[in-house]
Amino acid sequence: MADLTALTAAQLVAGYGAGDFTPLEVTRAALERAAAAQERTGAFVRIDEEDALRRADASAGRWRRGEPAGPVDGVPVTVKDILLQRGGPSFKGSWTVDEAGPWDEDSPSVARLRESGAVFLGKTTTPEFGWKGVTDSPRHGTTGNPHAPGRTAGGSSGGSAAAVALGAGPLSLGTDGGGSVRIPAAFSGIYALKPTYGRVPLYPASAFGTLAHVGPMTRDARDAALLLDVISGPDARDWSQLAPVADSFRAALAAGTEGVRGLRIGFSPDLGGRVAVDGQVAAAVRAAVALLEELGAHVEEVDPGFDDPVESFHVLWFSGAARVTQSLRPEQRERLDPGLREVCEQGAAYSALDYLAAVDDRMALGRRMGALHERYDLLATPTMPITAFEAGAEVPAGSAHTRWTGWTPFTYPFNLTQQPAASVPCGVDGDGLPVGLQLVGPRHADARVLAASHALFEAGVANRVPSPVS
Active site residues: 80, 156, 180
DSSP assignment of 400-468 equals: S-SSGGGG-TTTTHHHHTT--EEEEEEEE-TTS-EEEEEEE--TT-HHHHHHHHHHHHHTTGGGGS--S
Quote the CA–CA distance of 48 and 100 in Å, as a whole number. Answer: 17
Amino acid identity of residue 97, one-letter, is V
Chain centre distance of CA 328: 28
For the sheet containing 119-124, what is the strand order? 44-47, 119-124, 76-80, 171-176, 213-218, 191-194, 421-428, 434-440, 378-382, 264-267, 298-301
Give the chain's largest Cα–Cα span: 62
DSSP classification of residue 4:
G
Neighbours of 293 (CB within 10 A): 14
Quote the CA–CA distance of 67 and 124 in Å, as a whole number. Answer: 30
Name the helix (H) or strand (E) containing 18: helix 9-18
The residues, any chain, with a CB within 8 Å of residue 300's CB and separated by 6 or more, are: 264, 265, 266, 267, 376
The residues, any chain, with a CB within 8 Å of residue 442's CB and separated by 6 or more, are: 369, 370, 373, 419
Which sign does the torsion angle of CA 436, 337, 362, 159 carry? Answer: positive
Quote the CA–CA distance of 250 and 174 in Å, as a whole number. Answer: 20
Amino acid identity of residue 355, one-letter, is Y
